[in-house]
């Protein structure tokens, strides 16, 4: 029955509390059929409409007879004698009210009784009965007239609603209120006389003011309600939202959005997921809906936005799972040109080498790009798609190595869901190696980032694995936090895509994320996973090789066997005084193990590690010189504001070497100690050459625009 009726979209929290609703397509507030009827309302309705409801077979001959006598004595129709079952048929048929239709209703009511239980019939009736205006059904009525779910309604409210649905066109809340109150009080007296309510309840009820003007429907998680209105139009949807948490998250998000608006940041979104169930328990598609502003109805939580750095942990986990790295394998952190793509770290500095876990904790760009190149852009993009990031729909080559630095668009909701699934250590999920996942979260716990302000209070909140990110052009600020219990994701920025000077995820989204975690119960830390152990080089973080003198035993992922043995620890022949590398095998010598870094990596590493022990230099090597800047093949634009001057830097394996600089075979100058010069090249192609005093030589080609 009622298959052709148009219903409102109704969205509820996990406990059934109404988050919001949308009017049905015919303009009526008509909720989908209810699962239960408020007890007080059910008793009041049956007393008022059909006292013998639970005893008759669909038709009450006594009721029809009584109605016939009343109509004759009054000279007009004052009662129809219809049972609730007959009225249900009338609501279903929506036919004319005449004698023939009444006969049809009598016949069909008996059939209705044979097919459905009394409680089912009662639910059908109260779900489709009119309550005045554009309100249909008890579920919509309690929200419009009582402003709540009706479970705690008073006897006076129950009686009012019971008599209201009887003749809503003539007696309702804005017209004939005296008559409505009189009918309510008569019904209350009958309930008292029948023993349904006590004398004190009766006396208090008749003194209770009549309910007033309709309330607006609730508007909690409005973007989520709108989503289900579009996706499950005219249906009732039970979500995983925790009602009280949702309200508090909206309060925190609104407060932060108003503060950030002072700096030109107008929009903010928050998603909170429960790790164990995977349910989204709080959803704020865009905060502060009360403020009148453009873009507030944009559901940012589902909108594709540049990812910034929030994919770096997933890259680390994937590379470790594939056996490309172990948790602290060192990665290059030097100026590098990846075929025209020359990433920079946030603060512009380089450390020469950095362990993979520190690279993640520090959110360094260069080492992560290097790691992505090792893993493969296509492989990483495919894995992200399998992890549920559906917005990565372009071919992998279009993302390139910028994929891990914000070159792809992701949605906050999908990122939160992805991290929640990883946090469950689900063996069916694409990222599933428990050692790799634990190492990722452990690295994300490190609170030591160059782009942060003051996070000294972080350790006082909870033990949280977290990552922030900022997109190119300061358009998107991200923060993702993970515990064994919850994942919190925050996005800040402007819905129209406009950037804001000095916007960073750490300074804007990060504090919001930590305030949201303050609303959640602590959930400890992840259990240390079981796994194989192996000997690892203490210097390089690679599997220990035969020349690694200092090692440590660490847990490793399942694919650790694919990991490269340490290539940095090498045994070389040196003179007996240890000052020279021996080339002539007839010379007295000894074999000695050294941790040997490539020249450019050593140059930056030594600036922060004066204790680095260098091996003796091979004076006959032709590979002693490295350019720091510019890169080979670089295309350079020199602003006139700099006087068309560019700075060139190089390094030599021999700290005391003298370098001789040439531009297009023309000598420029010689440098010692600090190898840096200024040149003023004309537009066009140039060859820059450097020769040291041991006759080592290297050249690069550059193009000046």
Contacts 24+ apart (CB under 8 A), 245-249: 245/272, 245/281, 245/282, 245/519, 245/520, 246/13, 246/19, 246/220, 246/221, 246/281, 246/282, 246/283, 246/284, 247/220, 248/519, 249/282, 249/284, 249/516, 249/519
- E strand map for 114-224: 135-136
What pLDDT, on a 0 to 100 scale, did the predictor assign at position 451? 46
d(CA 546, CA 621): 25
Longest dimension (CA), the chain: 135
Contact (Cβ atoms closer than 8 angstroms) between residue 601 and residue 670: no
pLDDT class of 234 with cuts at 50, 70, 90: very high
d(CA 255, CA 298): 19
Looking at the domain assignment, is residue 662 inside a domain? yes
What pLDDT, on a 0 to 100 scale, did the predictor assign at position 295? 92
Q: How much is the average pLDDT of 94-104?
A: 73
Q: What is the residue whose two structure tokens read 């305030």?
A: 515
The CATH number assigned to the domain holding 114 equals 1.10.3810.10
Contact (Cβ atoms closer than 8 angstroms) between residue 217 and residue 225: no
Looking at the fold, whether 587 and 635 belong to one and the same domain comes out as no
Looking at the fold, whether 459 and 537 belong to one and the same domain comes out as no
Hey, what are 350's tokens?
């380089």
DSSP H/E element including 688: strand 684-692
Identify the DSSP state of 220. S
Name the residue with higher pLDDT: 600 or 189.
189
d(CA 35, CA 120): 9
What pLDDT, on a 0 to 100 scale, did the predictor assign at position 511? 93
Tell me how many domains the chain contains.
4
d(CA 419, CA 472): 23
What pLDDT, on a 0 to 100 scale, did the predictor assign at position 66? 58
What pTM does this model have?
0.86
Angle, vertex CA 65, rays to CA 61 and CA 71, nearest 5: 145
> Does 299 score more than 70 pLDDT?
yes
Nearest of 46, 111, 55, 114 to residue 84 by alpha carbon: 46
Looking at the domain assignment, is residue 236 inside a domain? no
49 among known catalytic residues: yes
d(CA 302, CA 414): 8
Name the residue with higher pLDDT: 669 or 104.
669
- How much is the CA Rg of the chain, to the nearest whole Å? 37
Q: What percent of the chain has pLDDT over 70?
A: 92
Buried b (16+ CB within 10 A) or exposed e, 292-310: eeeebebbbbbbbbbbbbb
Looking at the domain assignment, is residue 513 inside a domain? no
- Non-local CB neighbours of 582 within 8 Å, separated by 6+ positions: 573, 574, 575, 589
Q: How much is the average pLDDT of 96-125?
A: 86
Looking at the fold, whether 586 and 634 belong to one and the same domain comes out as no
> Does 563 score more than 50 pLDDT?
yes
Hey, what are 111's tokens?
């059939």
d(CA 97, CA 453): 74
d(CA 493, CA 264): 9
Looking at the fold, whether 541 and 455 belong to one and the same domain comes out as no
> Does 379 score more than 60 pLDDT?
yes
d(CA 270, CA 627): 46
> Among the three residues 574, 595, 616, which one is the final residue of a domain in this structure?
595
Contact (Cβ atoms closer than 8 angstroms) between residue 504 and residue 532: no
Q: What is the pLDDT of residues 478-532, one digit of tens each?
A: 999 999 999 999 999 999 999 998 899 999 999 999 999 999 999 999 999 998 9
Looking at the fold, whether 690 and 651 belong to one and the same domain comes out as yes
Looking at the domain assignment, is residue 361 inside a domain? yes
Looking at the fold, whether 422 and 556 belong to one and the same domain comes out as no
pLDDT class of 631 with cuts at 50, 70, 90: confident
N-terminal to C-terminal alpha carbon distance within the chain: 76
Indicate the average pLDDT of the chain: 90
Nearest of 671, 667, 658 to residue 688 by alpha carbon: 667
Looking at the fold, whether 140 and 185 belong to one and the same domain comes out as yes
Q: What is the pLDDT of residues 43-94, one digit of tens each?
A: 999 999 899 899 888 887 665 655 555 544 554 444 456 899 999 988 888 7
pLDDT class of 400 with cuts at 50, 70, 90: very high
Q: What is the pLDDT of residues 676-687, one digit of tens each?
A: 999 999 999 999
d(CA 637, CA 210): 78
333 bridge partner residues? 352
Burial (0-12, 13-18, 19+ Cβ within 10 Å), 356 = buried
Q: 76 lies in which domain range? A: 9-207
pLDDT class of 449 with cuts at 50, 70, 90: very low
Concatenate the DSSP letters of all residues of 133-146 into one string: TTEESHHHHIIIII
Q: How much is the average pLDDT of 199-217?
A: 93
Looking at the domain assignment, is residue 484 inside a domain? no
Nearest of 89, 81, 79 to residue 110 by alpha carbon: 89
> Among the three residues 549, 576, 595, which one is the final residue of a domain in this structure?
595
Question: Could you say which of 47, 49, 250, 322 is catalytic?
Answer: 49
Name the residue with higher pLDDT: 396 or 1.
396
Looking at the fold, whether 69 and 189 belong to one and the same domain comes out as yes
Looking at the fold, whether 694 and 634 belong to one and the same domain comes out as yes
Looking at the fold, whether 647 and 579 belong to one and the same domain comes out as no
Looking at the fold, whether 590 and 637 belong to one and the same domain comes out as no
Q: How much is the average pLDDT of 583-588?
A: 71
> Among the three residues 454, 477, 500, which one is the final residue of a domain in this structure?
477
Cα→Cα distances 601→333, 413, 568, 609, Å = 7, 39, 12, 12
> Does 694 score more than 60 pLDDT?
yes
Hey, what are 329's tokens?
């394998």
Nearest of 615, 632, 599, 624 to residue 692 by alpha carbon: 624
Question: Could you say which of 309, 351, 355, 434 is catalytic?
Answer: 309
Q: How much is the average pLDDT of 339-349?
A: 86
d(CA 142, CA 16): 14
SS3 content of the chain, % helix, strand, coil (to 5): 35, 20, 45
Give the highest mean pLDDT range of 456-465, 493-502, 583-592, 601-610: 493-502
pLDDT class of 580 with cuts at 50, 70, 90: confident
Q: What percent of the chain has pLDDT over 90?
A: 69
341 bridge partner residues? 338
The CATH number assigned to the domain holding 426 equals 3.40.710.10
Looking at the domain assignment, is residue 382 inside a domain? yes
- CA 73 vs. chain centroid, Å, equals 70
Q: What is the residue whose two structure tokens read 């820059």?
A: 688
- CA 101 vs. chain centroid, Å, equals 57
The CATH number assigned to the domain holding 631 equals 2.60.40.10
> Does 546 score more than 90 pLDDT?
yes
Q: What is the residue whose two structure tokens read 């297009």?
A: 664
Q: What is the residue whose two structure tokens read 């040196």?
A: 574
Looking at the domain assignment, is residue 483 inside a domain? no
Looking at the fold, whether 560 and 457 belong to one and the same domain comes out as no
Looking at the domain assignment, is residue 274 inside a domain? no
What pLDDT, on a 0 to 100 scale, did the predictor assign at position 402? 95
């Amino acid at each position: 029955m009622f298959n052709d009726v148009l219903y409102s979209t109704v969205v509820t929290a996990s406990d059934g509390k109404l988050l919001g609703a949308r009017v049905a397509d015919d303009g009526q507030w008509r909720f989908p059929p209810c699962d239960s009827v408020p007890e007080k309302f059910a008793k009041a309705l049956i007393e008022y409409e059909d006292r013998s409801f639970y005893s008759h077979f669909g038709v009450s001959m006594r009721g029809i007879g009584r109605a016939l006598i009343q109509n004759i004595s009054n000279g007009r129709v004052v009662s129809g004698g219809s049972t609730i079952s007959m009225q249900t048929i009338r609501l279903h048929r929506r036919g004319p009210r005449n004698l023939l239709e009444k006969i049809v209703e009598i016949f069909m009511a008996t059939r209705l009784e044979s097919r459905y239980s009394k409680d089912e019939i009662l639910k059908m009736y109260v779900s489709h009965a009119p309550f005045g205006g554009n309100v249909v059904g008890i579920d919509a009525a309690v929200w419009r007239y009582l402003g709540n779910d009706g479970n705690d309604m008073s006897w006076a409210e129950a009686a009012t609603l019971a008599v209201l649905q009887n003749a809503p066109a003539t007696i309702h809340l804005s017209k004939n209120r005296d008559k409505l109150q009189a009918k309510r009080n008569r019904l209350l007296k009958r309930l008292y006389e029948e023993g349904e309510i006590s004398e004190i309840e009766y006396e208090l009820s008749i003194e209770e003011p009549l309910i007033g003007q309709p309330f607006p429907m609730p508007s909690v998680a409005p973007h989520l309600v709108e989503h289900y209105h579009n996706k499950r139009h005219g249906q009732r949807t039970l979500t995983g939202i925790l009602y009280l948490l949702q309200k508090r998250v909206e309060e925190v998000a609104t407060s932060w959005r108003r503060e950030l608006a002072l700096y030109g940041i107008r929009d903010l979104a928050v998603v909170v997921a429960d790790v164990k169930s995977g349910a989204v328990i709080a959803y704020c598609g865009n905060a502060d809906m009360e403020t009148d502003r453009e873009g507030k109805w944009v559901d940012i939580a589902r909108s594709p936005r540049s990812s910034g750095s929030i994919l770096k942990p997933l890259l680390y986990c994937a590379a470790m799972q594939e056996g490309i790295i172990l948790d602290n394998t060192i990665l290059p952190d030097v100026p590098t040109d990846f075929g025209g793509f020359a990433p920079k770290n946030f603060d512009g500095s380089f450390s020469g080498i950095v362990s993979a876990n520190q690279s993640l904790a520090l959110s360094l760009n260069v080492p992560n790009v290097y790691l992505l190149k090792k893993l493969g852009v296509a492989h990483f993009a495919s894995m992200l798609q399998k992890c549920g990031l559906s917005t990565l729909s372009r071919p992998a080559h279009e993302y390139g190595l910028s994929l891990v630095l914000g070159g792809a668009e992701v949605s906050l909701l999908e990122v939160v869901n992805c991290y929640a699934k990883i946090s469950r250590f689900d063996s069916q999920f694409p990222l599933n190696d428990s050692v790799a996942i634990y190492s990722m979260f452990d690295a994300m716990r490190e609170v030591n980032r160059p782009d942060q302000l003051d996070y000294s209070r972080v350790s006082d909140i909870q033990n949280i694995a977290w990552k922030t990110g900022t997109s190119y052009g300061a358009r998107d600020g991200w923060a993702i936090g993970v515990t064994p219990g919850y994942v919190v994701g925050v996005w800040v920025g402007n819905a129209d895509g406009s950037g804001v000077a000095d916007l960073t995820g750490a300074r804007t989204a990060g504090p919001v994320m930590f305030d949201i975690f303050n609303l959640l119960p602590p959930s400890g830390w992840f259990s240390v996973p079981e796994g194989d152990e192996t000997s690892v080089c203490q210097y390089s973080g690679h599997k220990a090789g035969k020349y690694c003198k200092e090692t440590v035993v660490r847990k490793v992922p399942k694919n650790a066997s694919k990991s490269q043995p340490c290539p940095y620890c090498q045994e070389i022949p040196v003179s007996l005084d240890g000052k020279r590398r021996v080339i002539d095998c007839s010379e007295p010598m000894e074999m000695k193990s050294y941790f040997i870094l490539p020249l450019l990596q050593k140059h930056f590493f030594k600036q922060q590690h004066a204790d680095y022990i260098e091996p003796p230099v091979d004076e006959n090597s032709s590979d002693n010189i490295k350019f720091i800047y510019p890169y080979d093949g670089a295309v350079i634009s020199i602003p006139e504001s700099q006087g068309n001057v560019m700075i060139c830097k190089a390094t030599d394996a021999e700290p005391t070497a003298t370098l001789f600089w040439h531009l297009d075979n023309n000598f420029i100058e010689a440098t010692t100690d600090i190898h840096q010069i200024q040149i003023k090249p004309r537009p066009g192609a140039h060859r820059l050459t450097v020769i040291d005093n041991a006759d080592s030589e290297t050249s690069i080609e550059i193009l000046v625009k």
